[in-house]
Amino acid sequence: MRYRTLGRTGIKVSPYALGTLMFATSVGNTDPADSARVLHKALDAGINFIDTADAYGDSEEVVGAALKGRRDDVVLATKFSRPMGQDPNQQGASRRWIMTAVEHSLRRLQTDYIDLYQIHRPDPDTDIEETLSALSDLVHSGKVRAIGSSQTPASEIVEAQWVAQRRGLERFRTEQPPYSILNRGIEREVLPNIQRYGMGAVVWGPLGQGLLTGRVRKGGPNDLSRARFFRHLNDERRLDVVEQLIPVAAEAGLPMTHLAMAFTIAHPGVTSALLGARTEAQLDDLLGGLNVALDDDVLDRIDEIVPPGTDVGTLDQAYLPAPLLDPALRRRPATDRSAA
């Protein structure tokens, strides 16, 4: 295993990280013992980077129990800011919620410290200085080793770095954006800014949320029950691209999963790609491609199918800034629209 440095933290992490959304018994593996076996197999294979979140159901509890006796062997990351109840203050990136959320995560994870504490989504209602100030206090207290962001627009990545520098606060050391052959939009501005500020990129969705496994085919017997939750599985544009990528993988002598994973970690700005394995069989398949390196001819063919810096269709679960969701933020009041 060739470990990589997580930004400029000095922390060494594996190029594949284990994402644990599927460890939540409500959405993934209903048997925590099975999830523990997946986690232990990943650790035995050399993966030392585990990522979870407080909003992933009971994933933190499952991870915490599975790590008993092995906590010091892993770089443990979790996230906050997604709603954790009906109370409007049980979410976001305010100092009030951060100080509460971290204690809950420490308890669920059965640990005294979190290696990487990340804001799950940008919080437009909270001044970034307030967020960074609270997170800095957690770093200084020893409860958190490093802090990161997730799904942050490039302009807000820059703003957070400037605020940290000018106010003498801890700065975000990582960013967790979506990235795959189907979603390359971050190559335009997000990844260049991550590299400019010496941040690590921990990318999620490298398999296109299942489309790049090769098991979802155009006109094939796709799992429509799952498609109700993941609309992208029926996105004709994305399915068309998958059909073009399948022969590329075949000619390279690779399973689609290996092609997809190797593509994500080939970018010099990417530190680790998250594996979302739910079962040992899925993990075994992904681990089989750990040492795959794509040659320039294969990468050139991928560029021809999906040009650099472009997204194919819409990725479910992707962050959308508030003005794209609320019409009132992009429209003047009716009484003010007249040019007269």
pLDDT > 70: what percent of the chain?
Answer: 94
Question: Which of 22, 54, 26, 14 shows the shortest CA–CA distance to 38?
Answer: 22
- 230 has pLDDT over 70: no
pLDDT tens digits along 205-221: 999 989 999 888 877 65
- 255 has pLDDT over 90: yes
The stretch 277-293 carries a mean pLDDT of: 94
Contact 3, 14 (CB under 8 A): yes
State how far the Cα of 119 lies from the Cα of 174, in Å rounded to an integer.
Answer: 10
Question: Which of 206, 75, 83 shows the shortest CA–CA distance to 145?
Answer: 75
- 328 has pLDDT over 90: no
Q: How far is CA 274 from the centre of its chain?
A: 7
The stretch 157-173 carries a mean pLDDT of: 98
- 338 has pLDDT over 80: no
- 109 has pLDDT over 80: yes
State how far the Cα of 279 lies from the Cα of 29, in Å rounded to an integer.
Answer: 8
Confidence of residue 232 (pLDDT cuts 50, 70, 90): low
- 325 has pLDDT over 90: no
Return the pLDDT at 225. 41
End-to-end CA distance of the chain: 67
**pTM (2 d.p.):** 0.92
Q: Examine the residue annotation and report whether 56 is marked as an active-site residue of this protein.
A: yes
Confidence of residue 231 (pLDDT cuts 50, 70, 90): low
Return the pLDDT at 227. 47
Return the pLDDT at 279. 94
Return the pLDDT at 71. 97
Return the pLDDT at 1. 83
CATH homologous superfamily of 4-336 equals NADP-dependent oxidoreductase domain (3.20.20.100)
- 183 has pLDDT over 80: yes
Q: What is the mean pLDDT of the chain?
A: 93
Q: Which helix (H) or strand (E) holds 49?
A: strand 49-51
Return the pLDDT at 233. 61
Catalytic residue among 16, 56, 179, 197: 56
The stretch 154-172 carries a mean pLDDT of: 98
